[in-house]
Amino acid sequence: MCPMHCNDASSTLRLNKAIAASGLCSRRKADDLIAQGRVTVNGRSVMEMGLRIDPQSDLVSVDGDPITSLNPARSDHLYLLMHKPVQVVCTARDPQSRTTVLDLLPTSMRRRRPVPVGRLDYFSQGLLLLTTHGELVYRLTHPKWHVPKVYKVLVRGLVTEAKLQRMQQGMQLAEGEHLAPVEVTSTKAGPNTAWLSMGLIQGINRQIRRMCRDLDLTIVKLIRIREGPIDLGDLPSGKTRELSVSEVQSLFAAVEIDPGHLDTSRMKQDLP
């Protein structure tokens, strides 16, 4: 078997896209794995992201472990919604031996190696999507699609109209990053606390925490309650459920993925 299939481009895929489509990781992470020399095709080490392979015949391995399914049209992907608790990390493994989001999954789900879609930091909680669908991970985390996320943030300190306007107009962080405007409203919670409802379209690292820091507001609780068309709802902290057919279809629509290969027979059906 040869990974160079120049005569039939219709049956081949770029290596990085094929790895992502298998559900192993996002396309950006696949690029990193290839660049690090950790990927082999038919036993030969490769470092070309653009190499084309035949998912039906070529054997692709990462760190010596074969990827058993490279077909991007596979219909048995896993789509999960988790209510991530605080003090849990959004990685598959943690060098500090802290609890990871995969540790919270039932064994049957964990064995299928779903990938967290983006991150919630250690002390944040709320909605986290996980899936084996690599292309969906890639698109939901890519700035091209601007999938909005909504957060409820309990803060301590004086929330003035001027501070709200700074966020609404697009503020500059102390480190220099210029932020897109944030949809934000405030509701008084106590003598010196308030709930902020914040809608973001960017993926700046620890954006909300850094914004509140620069506005002299102390975060007491940070909860993500919505990502694109998906709501956290009343899912208890630490629990996970499969997305329904209509929820997955709405995610596909949000990031322009063709739903034609979605096999709904194995998925959680919508309630009548």
Instruction: List per-residue pLDDT tens for the chain, 272 residues long.
Output: 444 444 455 568 888 888 877 767 778 888 999 999 999 887 788 888 788 887 766 778 888 776 755 654 445 788 999 999 999 999 878 889 999 999 999 988 888 888 889 889 999 999 999 988 878 888 898 888 889 999 999 999 999 999 999 999 999 999 999 999 999 999 999 999 999 999 999 888 899 999 999 999 999 999 999 999 999 999 999 999 999 999 999 999 999 988 776 766 666 666 55
pLDDT at 71: 54
CB atoms within 10 A of CB 79: 24
Residues 172, 178 contacting (CB under 8 angstroms): yes
Residue 231 CA to residue 149 CA, distance in Å, equals 10
Q: Which domains does the chain have, with CATH numbers?
A: 9-66 (3.10.290.10), 79-144+229-257 (3.30.70.580), 149-227 (3.30.70.1560)
Strands 218-227 and 125-131: parallel
Q: Is 121 a catalytic residue?
A: yes
CA dihedral 64, 36, 72, 245 (to 10 degrees): 100
- pLDDT tens for 29-81 read 889 999 999 998 877 888 887 888 877 667 788 887 767 556 544 457 889 99
pLDDT at 41: 85
Please report the beta strands in the chain, taking only residues with DSSP state E, as ranges in sequence order.
13-14, 39-41, 44-45, 52-53, 60-62, 65-66, 79-84, 115-116, 125-131, 149-156, 183-190, 193-200, 218-227, 230-231, 240-242
Write 58-66 long-range contacts (CB < 8 A, 24+).
Answer: 58/1, 58/3, 59/1, 60/15, 60/18, 60/19, 62/19, 62/24, 62/33, 62/38, 63/38, 64/40
What is the length of the chain?
272
Identified catalytic residue from 121, 214, 216, 258: 121
Residue 22 CA to residue 116 CA, distance in Å, equals 14
* Contacts with 89 (C-beta within 8 Å, 6 or more apart), sequence order: 98, 99, 100, 101, 122
